[in-house]
């Protein structure tokens, strides 16, 4: 039962993708399958989070191949927390797609690719070895490129080509890091590496492997100065696709950075604190400044994704348990809120007919409910009280102050102010100012429930975290404690695998004894 619960976040989207393939000529059936699948995935994620909180790390070896030779699937506090966040966003996007995804996209395979992307994301979160992390990156890359071109058109194809080329470059760098790491350590199992690498000490192979990993993950996470693929690709697809990209793809990159830097290269990465700190500050500030200069909602939000990556890198750069825990809390918040903001951008387009703030206006009078939901999501993004963003920024800036990284905390405060400016800019231009001349507000289309329900749900999740942050803080603290103490992770994985195989091996032993 334990083994099944750990792999269900993989089996559910895989099954949904397969069923959508079988119903290729029946788009309505694909919609139903996907919504049911994402609801089941969300239920599995909640059950897995509760199980890990109660029992500790859970792990399984499919095929009963012992580590480090088999494939390890590991559910620890960090991975299950992110599987839950991904499931929440995937459920919202699946419902939103009823309005946003038309027949053109459905014929292009939107739902099989969407489920495949969720599978790749969950696989990246749950994998217990570095090579399979690369494999899941490839699954995500293939599905993401497919989703970028489901809406046929020149701008979509252009964005897909640039996205594929630059992310494939990052994948190659990651694979080279895998090769050097295996050559130096003789294993790619994360639990093994957490024990072996500290004993090996510094070496040329390990240093080169770390350099390749950091470069690869900087590309995939959109960190400065390797972020340029973000603004040329994320704003081109439909809002539902942009939302799942914004909420998950760059977050997988920063998740892998947290996992690899803390558990595997802890001592070696400590020498790069200054570099990581500078990159974090520049990512926050450059992203926020570029966002403030935009007039297109989607492009503004793309640069705010980049700014958020800087906040997440702060915890890794500071390197304390409190800072890493704060980054994990911020990561959960960012998945939910950035996904909500992109869905809201789609709702603004449905209501006002444009993403261009210069041509928008009057939505507070024509769509007051949308205006209310947006201001709640925007205030969470900016980090104001009563929302998850407030606690995320308080925790990460507090960790910077405790770690004497005062100038990094100052950079975070400046970036936060710019984030608030961007939210205010969208509000004033799209909602508060008068509608453009000649636009009949009364004639604007009403937004259906499948648009408003998912964005409202995501905002309610953010609000709930803001009002009751303690459960998430406790889980993030548990995750940070394990990450900063690699033996805890290794011992937990080994014990979980042993307990998971006892039921299989005991009958054989008993038969031999007889």
The CA–CA distances, whole Å, from 450 to 88, 240, 377, 453 equal 15, 12, 18, 6
Place of tokens 């990512």: 283
What's the N-to-C CA distance of the chain in angstroms?
28
Decide if pLDDT at 280 tops 70.
yes
What secondary structure does DSSP assign to 199-259, as a single string? HH---HHHHHHHHHHHHHHHHHHT-TTS-TTSTTTTTSS-HHHHHHIIIIIHHHHHHHHHH
Average pLDDT over residues 265-285: 88
Decide if pLDDT at 512 tops 60.
no
Strand partners, 127: 73
Decide if pLDDT at 254 tops 50.
yes
**3-state secondary structure at position 74:** strand
Which helix (H) or strand (E) is 75 found in, with range? strand 73-75
According to DSSP, the β-strands at 58-60 and 73-75 are antiparallel
- For the stretch 462-498, pLDDT in tens is 999 999 999 999 999 999 999 999 888 988 888 777 6
Closest CA to 479 of 488, 466, 470: 488
Decide if pLDDT at 321 tops 60.
yes
Percent share of the chain, pLDDT over 90: 65
CB distance 489 to 483 below 8 Å: yes
* Nearest-angstrom CA–CA distance, 112 and 4: 23
pLDDT given at position 513: 38
The CA–CA distances, whole Å, from 313 to 241, 284, 296, 302, 506 equal 25, 9, 27, 17, 45
Place of tokens 């749900």: 457
What's the pLDDT band for 505 if we cut at 50, 70, 90?
very low
What's the pLDDT band for 226 if we cut at 50, 70, 90?
confident
What is the length of the chain? Answer: 514
Other residues' Cβ atoms within 10 Å of the Cβ of residue 434: 10
The CA–CA distances, whole Å, from 479 to 116, 209, 405 equal 27, 25, 22
Decide if pLDDT at 152 tops 70.
no
What's the pLDDT band for 167 if we cut at 50, 70, 90?
confident
Q: At what angle do helices 204-221 and 297-318 cross, to 10 degrees?
A: 150
* Nearest-angstrom CA–CA distance, 479 and 211: 25
pLDDT given at position 408: 94
The CA–CA distances, whole Å, from 381 to 36, 356, 371, 385, 414 equal 29, 20, 15, 11, 14
Closest CA to 97 of 298, 252, 237: 237
**3-state secondary structure at position 473:** helix
Residue 28: HSE in the Cβ half-sphere, 13 Å Cα cutoff: 0
* Nearest-angstrom CA–CA distance, 336 and 346: 16
Mean pLDDT of the chain: 89
pLDDT given at position 510: 38
* Nearest-angstrom CA–CA distance, 209 and 213: 6
List the chain domain ranges: 272-466
Average pLDDT over residues 229-256: 88
pLDDT given at position 499: 65
Closest CA to 210 of 257, 274, 277, 250: 257
CB distance 286 to 363 below 8 Å: no
Residue 260: HSE in the Cβ half-sphere, 13 Å Cα cutoff: 29
CB distance 57 to 489 below 8 Å: yes
Those residues with Cβ within 8 angstroms of residue 77's Cβ, 6 or more apart along the chain or in another chain: 52, 53, 475, 476, 478, 479, 482
CB distance 167 to 219 below 8 Å: yes
Q: Return the higher-pLDDT residue of 113 and 165.
A: 113
* Nearest-angstrom CA–CA distance, 307 and 313: 10
**3-state secondary structure at position 143:** helix
Percent share of the chain, pLDDT over 70: 94
Average pLDDT over residues 129-137: 93
- For the stretch 378-413, pLDDT in tens is 999 999 988 899 999 999 999 999 988 899 999 999
- For the stretch 170-225, pLDDT in tens is 999 999 999 999 999 888 999 889 888 888 877 888 999 999 999 999 999 989 88
Decide if pLDDT at 272 tops 80.
yes
CB distance 38 to 478 below 8 Å: no
Decide if pLDDT at 507 tops 70.
no
- For the stretch 342-360, pLDDT in tens is 999 999 999 988 999 999 8
* Nearest-angstrom CA–CA distance, 275 and 269: 10
pLDDT given at position 347: 95
Decide if pLDDT at 127 tops 80.
yes
Strands (DSSP E) along 94-159, which ranges?
none
- pTM for the full model? 0.93
Average pLDDT over residues 113-128: 95
Closest CA to 24 of 116, 117, 106: 106
Residue 179 token pair: 């090769």
Decide if pLDDT at 502 tops 70.
no
Q: Return the higher-pLDDT residue of 323 and 505.
A: 323
pLDDT given at position 437: 83
R_g (Cα) of the chain, nearest Å:
22
Which helix (H) or strand (E) is 431 found in, with range? none
Decide if pLDDT at 418 tops 90.
yes
């Amino acid at each position: 039962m334990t083994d099944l619960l750990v792999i269900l976040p993989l089996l559910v989207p895989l099954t949904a993708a397969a069923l959508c393939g079988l119903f290729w000529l029946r788009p309505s059936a694909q919609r139903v399958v996907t919504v049911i699948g994402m609801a089941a995935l969300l239920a599995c994620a909640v059950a897995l989070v509760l199980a890990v909180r109660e029992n500790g790390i859970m792990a399984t070896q499919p095929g009963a191949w012992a580590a480090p030779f088999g494939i390890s699937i590991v559910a620890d506090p960090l991975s299950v927390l992110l599987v839950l966040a991904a499931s929440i966003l995937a459920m919202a996007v699946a419902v939103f797609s009823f309005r946003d995804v038309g027949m053109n996209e459905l014929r292009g395979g939107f739902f099989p690719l969407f489920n495949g992307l969720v599978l790749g994301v969950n696989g990246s979160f749950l994998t217990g070895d570095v090579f399979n992390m690369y494999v899941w990156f490839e699954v995500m890359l293939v599905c993401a490129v497919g989703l970028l071109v489901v809406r046929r058109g020149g701008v979509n194809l252009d964005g897909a080509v640039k996205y594929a080329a630059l992310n494939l470059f990052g994948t190659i760098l990651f694979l080279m890091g895998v090769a050097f790491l295996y050559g130096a350590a003789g294993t790619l199992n994360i639990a093994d590496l957490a024990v072996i690498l500290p004993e090996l000490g510094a070496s040329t192979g390990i240093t080169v492997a770390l350099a390749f990993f950091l470069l690869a993950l900087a590309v995939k996470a959109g960190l400065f100065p390797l972020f340029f693929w973000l603004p040329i690709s994320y704003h081109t697809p439909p809002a539902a696709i942009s939302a799942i990209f914004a909420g998950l793809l760059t977050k997988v990159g920063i998740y892998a950075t947290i996992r690899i830097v803390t558990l595997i290269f802890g001592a070696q990465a400590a020498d790069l604190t200054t570099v990581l700190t500078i990159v974090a500050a520049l990512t926050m500030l450059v992203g926020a400044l570029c966002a403030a200069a935009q007039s297109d909602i989607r492009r503004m939000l793309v640069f705010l994704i980049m700014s958020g990556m800087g906040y997440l890198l702060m915890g890794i750069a500071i390197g304390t348990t409190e800072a890493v825990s704060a980054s994990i809390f911020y990561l959960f918040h960012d998945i939910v809120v950035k996904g909500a903001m992109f869905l809201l951008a789609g709702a603004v387009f449905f209501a006002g007919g444009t993403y261009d703030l210069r041509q928008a206006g009057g939505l507070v009078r024509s769509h007051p409910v949308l205006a209310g939901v947006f201001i709640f999501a925007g205030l969470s993004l900016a980090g104001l009280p009563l929302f998850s963003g407030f606690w995320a920024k308080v925790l990460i800036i507090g960790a910077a102050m405790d770690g004497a990284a005062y100038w990094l905390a100052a950079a975070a405060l400046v970036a936060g102010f710019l984030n608030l400016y961007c939210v205010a800019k969208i509000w004033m231009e799209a909602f508060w100012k008068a509608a453009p001349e000649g636009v009949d507000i009364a004639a604007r289309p009403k937004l259906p429930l499948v648009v408003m329900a998912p964005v409202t749900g995501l905002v309610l999740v953010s609000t709930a975290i803001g009002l009751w942050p303690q459960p998430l803080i406790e889980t993030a603290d548990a995750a940070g404690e394990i990450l900063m103490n690699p033996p805890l992770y290794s011992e937990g994985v080994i014990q979980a695998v042993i307990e998971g195989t006892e039921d299989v091996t005991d009958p054989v032993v008993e038969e031999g004894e007889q």
